[in-house]
Amino acid sequence: MSASNFWTAIRNPLMIAVVALYLLQIAIFLYVFVKKAELGTLGIIQTALYAIIVIGSGVLFFNESITLIKGIGIGLAIVGVILINL
């Protein structure tokens, strides 16, 4: 990748949005962790949310489809997060 392509990519509004969302995620993670959340629980919730957000982004931006297996996985992730928080 040439330097001009790199700077073009960095200035892309979608890239700026991705970086902003990533920084927001770090800030939220730190805030919750400082509030004495259990690290194991927080990590599981974060991992489940990552999977759900990535699948949702694929559907919205790349016209991917949610297969039965992906749907079951999303459901299990949500159930897992609920069970961890009981």
82 shares a domain with 60: yes
Q: Is the pLDDT of residue 84 over 70?
A: yes
5 shares a domain with 22: yes
DSSP, collapsed to helix, strand or coil, labels residue 38 as coil
Task: Taking residues 78-82, report their average pLDDT.
Answer: 86
Cα 44 to Cα 80: distance, rounded to the nearest angstrom:
9
pLDDT value, residue 68: 94
44 shares a domain with 86: yes
Task: Taking residues 66-86, report their average pLDDT.
Answer: 87
48 shares a domain with 85: yes
29 shares a domain with 51: no
80 shares a domain with 43: yes
Q: Name the token pair of 12.
A: 């892309």
Number of domains in the chain: 2
Write down the mean pLDDT value for the chain. 85
Backbone angles phi, psi at 18, to 5 degrees: -65, -45
Cα 44 to Cα 40: distance, rounded to the nearest angstrom:
6
Smallest CA-to-CA distance from 80 within 43, 33, 38 is with: 43
Domain of 9, in residue numbers = 1-35
